[in-house]
């Protein structure tokens, strides 16, 4: 626990300030590194450069008006944040979305997860010094975003889901384009296997780096692919099923090594699982309206509710306390990267500076999400 | 032109040509690197300025010249200004002894090879000065990495050179090329030495996957972090020139220098062959850079001390034994 | 502890008030009311039961500030929301030596609500700037404060599970 306290430096050590503007911190994260030569002895993340106090904003506006905020925390998983937010309102108010809307939510959420994982793949390898894969993953990601743009109207900070459903129905063109995309993405995966997974330099850089253990995960509340890399098959989509996820057949990839390579493999295989969910959801998509019939103005009853969804980075949780008025009394948003980043001081002490970059790339941090 | 002694005239022409080659190479390489990087990444590369972006480099040059030279407040102003010059200036000198063709050579030294190695090794000093004088920890880390890396990789490089020298018995670059007549290039006789030498040159020129002194994603830009404008572009040009020199040496030592079957312009055939071989190697370097991730520092040194140096030593011994027999 | 019943009986022994609630309505399985004095024992118990800490957050009520701790388990579905009222001097014991992840969550709660966690190694502002330690943005104005009863879910009439009946505060 002394990791947090500032101790006087001994004479061989110096302080290196990494960030808030640094290519490997993926946003305005600052890490104060106590260094001994090239070795990082004590990294201390400093947060809050992008802090916007979303939780206070939630208390000052009526609950439909908060939806655009939900998209602006994690810019890579905006639809999943949408999903969590409408989910918690529906749970508290006892509203059920229409079946078709639930399917569309799953389809768009999984597409969002895919584009997040594709970006992570490119960025991780970029952190390790290879410039080319990110261009390839952006090519794939561009196809996804184009499809999503057609139905949601935006490319990054989606505000697509509504309480009781989604705002626009998907059409046949969307479905056929998505099917084309699934085939395309499948055809690309062997290339990434060859270009990245099989690359000896890449393997040497990520193997045995940043070893997570199940116990460490419990102590820090680690969730998401980094947790599954330690061998625990914990995925909210399975553990506490929400929406229509129980209706799909998909695996939860796990690895046992717990190092960055294991986290890499887990995420890499999750891409295929997301494609499988997409395929099944498109096959099973029921007909019907996409918005439930709701009263003009929904009042949230007093009480509290939690809604947990699996974001690409782990457990995303909204905890809403309502007092019967039309603004939430308190909204707590538990973001996965917050807990995931807090392991950094423990696992990265004593590692080389280059490994720290690999480790942060493997945690897949999104800083605006942490800062909220 | 009779008022000039012919020897002085020759020196002047040589120096002008050397400088032209240095700048010409920097421009060509800058363009090639960006175009090839674009191709590898499935994008067109520079397209806007001139036909297929061919004038992009000129525009960039104007931009860099026009930029302010910012000197950080606590930097050492003298060393900070001098460092890019120390890096760039020695890169011109090897051009004087490189035999581009049987006729096209500034001067053939008996110790041409040693001359090049001596001059080129000044670059480490420049990088160290740059890193130290910037008063920036990232720069200093980059400089420290550079020194360790260059000192380490000079050893396997020199050891493989010794194998070649044992065979040829001369340090003269022309002599080495002439020893590889009739297509018996040393790359066919000593492929291992060629691979070790090429790997070592990648590290010596700080190119990916051994570009640790720059390492954008870790050290922002390593020793160049604080440099702007012409200070930066001198380092930039020096890097391309050292790559050119390294590839020229590889061509001379292993790929038969200017030798090759006659080409259409028979008179220039040998010089064309030389440049062709050099640029094939340079493009190979670009290809490697845009394909591989960067190695880690300890891996870099382990690779040198545990693999390259022993292999080079064994190779040297085998060469010596074979020659003696 | 590898089932929800075992967790409930262990918690009751602590002692703590445990209410089983309807997951479909609340999104968590157990609601636990713990005294501030037993918070560390409670955390130790959950640490031994292989729970992980999901979040720590505050809630400003008319009576007091309530800090909620949510835990969940990787191996079986048991999401658990613990409510702890702060002690009179607006403080609580820290649990960040038991769950290291609590470190940042406690700092965040200190930022937003001013709750002091005793023996915390470094209670500096985390998300707020260093000079904003006294801002406490999530404390509400007096006229907006509600009582505990006003934000408690009304007991559903056709409730199938008697245990799910909420505490009648």
Provide ipTM, 2 decimals: 0.84
The secondary structure of B196-252 as a DSSP string is: HHHHHHHHHTT-TTS-TTT-HHHHTTGGGTT--HHHHHHHHHHHHHHHHHHHHHHHH
CA-nearest of C99, A357, A286, C63 to B219 is A357
Asked whether residue B107 carries a pLDDT value surpassing 80, the answer given is no
Cα–Cα distance for residue pair B289/B209, rounded to 1 Å: 6
pLDDT of residue A1: 39
The percentage of residues in chain A with a pLDDT greater than 70, rounded to a whole number, is 98
Number of Cβ pairs < 8 A linking chain A and chain C: 141
Instruction: Determine phi and psi for A229, rounding to 5 degrees.
Output: -70, -15
Asked whether residue B150 carries a pLDDT value surpassing 60, the answer given is yes
Across the interface, whether the CB atoms of B137 and A14 are under 8 A apart is answered yes
Give the confidence band of B280 by pLDDT, cuts at 50, 70, 90. very high
Instruction: Determine phi and psi for A328, rounding to 5 degrees.
Output: -65, 145
Asked whether residue C164 carries a pLDDT value surpassing 50, the answer given is no
The answer to whether A59 and A329 are in contact (CB under 8 A) is yes
pLDDT of residue A8: 61
Average pLDDT along chain C:
81
Asked whether residue B303 carries a pLDDT value surpassing 70, the answer given is yes
User: B121: how many CB neighbours lie within 10 A of its CB?
Assistant: 14
Residue tagged 């022993």 (tokens) = B310
Average pLDDT along chain A:
86
- Most A CBs within 10 Å, among B43, B206, B212, B293, to test the A interface: B293
Neighbouring chains of A at 3+ CB pairs under 8 Å are B, C
Across the interface, whether the CB atoms of A218 and C103 are under 8 A apart is answered no
What token pair was written down for A196? 């990245």
Chain A CB contacts of C105 below 8 Å: 338
What's the CATH number of domain C4-168, 3.40.640.10, 3.30.460.80, 2.30.42.10, 3.90.950.20? 3.30.460.80
pLDDT of residue B297: 84
Read off the pLDDT of residues A46-75 as tens digits, 9 standing for 90 and up.
888 888 888 888 888 888 888 888 888 888
The answer to whether C32 and C18 are in contact (CB under 8 A) is yes
Q: How far apart are the first and last CA of chain A?
A: 25
Q: Does B291 touch chain A (CB under 8 A)?
A: yes
Neighbouring chains of C at 3+ CB pairs under 8 Å are A
Q: Which residue ranges make up each domain of chain B?
A: 6-324
Across the interface, whether the CB atoms of A128 and B299 are under 8 A apart is answered no
The secondary structure of B105-171 as a DSSP string is: -S---TTHHHHHHHHHTHHHHHHHHHHHHTT-HHHHHHHHHHHHHHHHHHHHHHHHHHHHHHHH---
Chain C CB contacts of A323 below 8 Å: 146, 150-151
Provide the pairing of β-strand A39-46 with A30-36: antiparallel
The answer to whether A86 and A161 are in contact (CB under 8 A) is yes
Asked whether residue C33 carries a pLDDT value surpassing 50, the answer given is yes
Across the interface, whether the CB atoms of C127 and A372 are under 8 A apart is answered yes
Secondary structure letter of residue C114 according to DSSP: -
Cα–Cα distance for residue pair A61/B7, rounded to 1 Å: 86
Asked whether residue B300 carries a pLDDT value surpassing 70, the answer given is yes
Across the interface, whether the CB atoms of A319 and C74 are under 8 A apart is answered no
Q: Does residue C15 have a cis bond before it (omega within 30 degrees)? A: yes
User: Chain C residue closest to A55 (CA)?
Assistant: C138
Q: How far apart are the first and last CA of chain C?
A: 30
Average pLDDT along chain B:
85
A21 alpha carbon, distance to own chain's centre = 22
Read off the pLDDT of residues A241-250 as tens digits, 9 standing for 90 and up.
888 888 888 8
User: Chain C residue closest to A346 (CA)?
Assistant: C100
Provide the pairing of β-strand A30-36 with A14-18: antiparallel
- Average pLDDT of the segment spanning A69-88: 88
User: C118: how many CB neighbours lie within 10 A of its CB?
Assistant: 11
Give the confidence band of C166 by pLDDT, cuts at 50, 70, 90. very low
The answer to whether A120 and A317 are in contact (CB under 8 A) is no
- Average pLDDT of the segment spanning B111-133: 87
- Compare CB distances from B42 to A125, A131, A136 and report the shortest one's residue: A136
Read off the pLDDT of residues A309-331 as tens digits, 9 standing for 90 and up.
999 988 999 998 888 888 888 88
Asked whether residue B208 carries a pLDDT value surpassing 80, the answer given is no
Q: Does residue B209 have a cis bond before it (omega within 30 degrees)? A: yes
Number of H helices, E strands in chain A: 15, 9
- Most C CBs within 10 Å, among A53, A60, A218, A325, to test the C interface: A218
Read off the pLDDT of residues A246-282 as tens digits, 9 standing for 90 and up.
888 888 898 888 888 898 999 999 999 999 999 999 9
Read off the pLDDT of residues A13-41 as tens digits, 9 standing for 90 and up.
888 888 788 877 777 888 888 888 888 88
Residue tagged 């020897």 (tokens) = B7
A39: enclosing H helix or E strand: strand A39-46
Across the interface, whether the CB atoms of A126 and B217 are under 8 A apart is answered yes
Cα–Cα distance for residue pair B104/B314, rounded to 1 Å: 36
A161: enclosing H helix or E strand: strand A161-162
Asked whether residue A151 carries a pLDDT value surpassing 70, the answer given is yes
Instruction: Determine phi and psi for A263, rounding to 5 degrees.
Output: -60, -40
Across the interface, whether the CB atoms of A302 and C151 are under 8 A apart is answered yes
Q: List residues bridging with B194 in a β-sheet.
A: none
| Burial annotation B145-169 (CB, 10 A radius, 16+ → b, else e) | bbbbbbebbbbbbbbbbbbbbebbe
User: Chain A residue closest to B211 (CA)?
Assistant: A129
Q: Which residue ranges make up each domain of chain C?
A: 4-168
Across the interface, whether the CB atoms of A132 and B290 are under 8 A apart is answered yes
Is C117 strand, coil or helix?
Answer: strand
Q: Measured over all CA atoms, what is the biggest interatomic distance in chain A, rounded to whole angstroms?
A: 71
B159 vs C132, higher pLDDT: B159
- How long, in residues, is chain B? 325
pLDDT of residue A9: 64
Cα–Cα distance for residue pair A59/A325, rounded to 1 Å: 11
The answer to whether A111 and A148 are in contact (CB under 8 A) is yes
User: C15: how many CB neighbours lie within 10 A of its CB?
Assistant: 10
Asked whether residue A2 carries a pLDDT value surpassing 50, the answer given is no
What token pair was written down for B244? 């050119």
Asked whether residue A102 carries a pLDDT value surpassing 70, the answer given is yes
pLDDT of residue A182: 92
Read off the pLDDT of residues C36-68 as tens digits, 9 standing for 90 and up.
888 888 888 888 888 898 999 888 888 888 899
Across the interface, whether the CB atoms of A129 and B291 are under 8 A apart is answered no
pLDDT of residue C159: 45
Burial (0-12, 13-18, 19+ Cβ within 10 Å), B103: exposed
Across the interface, whether the CB atoms of C74 and A227 are under 8 A apart is answered yes
């Amino acid at each position: 626990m002394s990791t947090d306290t500032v101790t006087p430096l001994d004479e061989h050590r110096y302080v290196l300030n990494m960030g808030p503007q640094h290519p490997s911190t993926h946003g305005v994260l600052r890490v104060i590194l106590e260094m001994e030569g090239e070795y990082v002895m004590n990294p201390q993340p400093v947060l809050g450069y992008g802090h916007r106090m979303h939780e206070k904003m939630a208390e000052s506006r009526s609950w439909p008006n908060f939806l655009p905020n939900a998209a602006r925390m994690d810019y890579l998983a905006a639809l999943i944040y949408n999903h969590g937010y409408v989910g918690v309102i529906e749970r508290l108010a006892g509203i059920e979305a229409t079946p078709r809307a639930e399917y569309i939510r799953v389809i768009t959420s999984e597409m969002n997860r895919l584009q997040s994982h594709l970006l992570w793949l490119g960025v991780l390898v970029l952190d390790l010094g290879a410039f080319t894969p990110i261009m390839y993953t952006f090519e794939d990601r561009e196809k996804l975003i184009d499809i999503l743009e057609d139905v949601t109207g935006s490319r990054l900070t989606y505000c697509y889901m509504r309480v009781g459903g989604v705002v626009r129905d998907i059409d046949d063109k969307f479905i056929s384009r998505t099917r084309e995309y699934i085939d395309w993405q499948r055809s690309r995966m062997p290339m990434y296997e060859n270009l990245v997974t099989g690359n000896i330099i890449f393997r040497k850089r990520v193997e045995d780096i940043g070893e997570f253990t199940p116990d460490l995960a419990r102590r820090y509340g680690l969730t998401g692919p980094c947790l599954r890399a330690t061998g625990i098959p914990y995925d909210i989509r399975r553990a506490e099923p929400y929406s229509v996820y129980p209706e799909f057949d998909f695996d939860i990839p796990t690895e046992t090594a717990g190092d960055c390579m294991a986290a890499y493999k887990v995420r890499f295989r999750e891409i295929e699982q997301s494609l499988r969910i997409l395929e099944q959801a498109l096959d099973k998509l029921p007909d019907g309206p996409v918005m439930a019939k709701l009263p003009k103005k929904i009042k949230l009853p007093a009480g509290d509710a939690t809604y947990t969804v699996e974001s690409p980075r782990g457990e995303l949780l909204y905890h809403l306390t309502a007092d019967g008025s039309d603004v939430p009394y308190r909204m707590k948003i538990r973001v996965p990267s917050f807990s995931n980043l807090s392991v950094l001081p423990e696992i990265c002490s004593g590692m080389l500076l280059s490994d720290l970059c690999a480790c942060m790339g493997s945690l897949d941090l999104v800083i605006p999400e942490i800062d909220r | 032109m009779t008022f000039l002694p012919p020897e002085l005239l020759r020196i002047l022409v040589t120096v002008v040509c050397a400088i032209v080659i240095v700048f010409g190479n920097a421009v060509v390489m800058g363009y090639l690197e960006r175009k090839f990087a674009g191709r590898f990444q499935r994008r067109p590369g520079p397209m806007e300025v001139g036909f297929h972006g061919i004038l992009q480099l000129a525009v960039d040059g104007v931009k860099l010249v026009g930029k302010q030279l910012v000197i950080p407040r606590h930097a050492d102003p003298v060393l900070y200004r001098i460092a890019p010059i120390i890096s760039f200036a020695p890169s011109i000198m090897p051009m004087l002894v490189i035999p581009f063709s049987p006729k096209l050579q500034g001067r053939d030294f008996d110790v041409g090879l040693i001359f090049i190695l001596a001059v080129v090794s000044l670059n480490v000093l420049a990088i160290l000065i740059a890193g130290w004088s910037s008063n920036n920890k990232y720069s200093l880390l980059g400089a420290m990495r550079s020194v360790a890396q260059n000192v380490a990789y000079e050893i396997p490089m020199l050891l493989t050179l010794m194998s070649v020298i044992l065979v040829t018995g001369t340090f003269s670059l022309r002599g080495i090329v002439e020893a590889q007549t009739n297509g018996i290039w040393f790359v066919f006789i000593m492929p291992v030495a060629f691979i070790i030498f090429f790997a070592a040159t990648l590290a010596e020129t700080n190119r990916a996957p051994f570009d640790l002194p720059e390492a954008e994603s870790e050290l922002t830009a390593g020793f160049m972090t604080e440099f702007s404008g012409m200070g930066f572009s001198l380092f930039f040009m020096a890097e391309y020139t050292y790559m050119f020199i390294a590839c020229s040496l590889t061509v001379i030592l292993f790929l038969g220098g200017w030798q090759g079957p006659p080409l259409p312009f028979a008179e220039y055939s040998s010089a064309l062959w030389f440049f062709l071989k050099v640029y094939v190697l340079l493009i190979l370097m670009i290809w490697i850079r845009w394909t591989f991730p960067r190695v880690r520092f300890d891996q870099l040194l382990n690779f040198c001390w545990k693999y390259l140096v022993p292999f080079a030593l064994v190779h040297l011994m085998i060469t010596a034994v074979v020659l003696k027999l | 502890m590898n089932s929800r019943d075992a967790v409930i009986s262990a918690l009751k022994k602590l002692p703590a008030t445990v209410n089983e609630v309807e997951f479909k309505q609340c999104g968590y399985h157990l609601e636990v009311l713990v005294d501030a004095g037993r918070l560390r024992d409670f955390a130790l118990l959950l640490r031994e039961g292989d729970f992980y800490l999901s979040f720590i957050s505050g809630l400003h009520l008319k009576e007091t500030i309530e800090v909620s701790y949510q835990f969940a388990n990787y191996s079986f579905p048991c999401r658990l929301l613990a409510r702890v009222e702060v002690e009179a001097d607006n403080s609580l014991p820290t649990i960040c030596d038991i769950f290291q992840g609590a470190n940042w969550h406690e700092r965040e709660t200190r930022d937003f609500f001013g709750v002091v966690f005793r023996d915390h190694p470094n209670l500096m502002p985390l998300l707020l700037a260093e000079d904003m330690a006294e801002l406490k943005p999530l404390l509400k104005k007096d006229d907006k404060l509600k009582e505990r009863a006003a934000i408690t879910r009304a007991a559903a009439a056709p409730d199938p599970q008697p245990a799910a009946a909420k505490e009648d505060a």
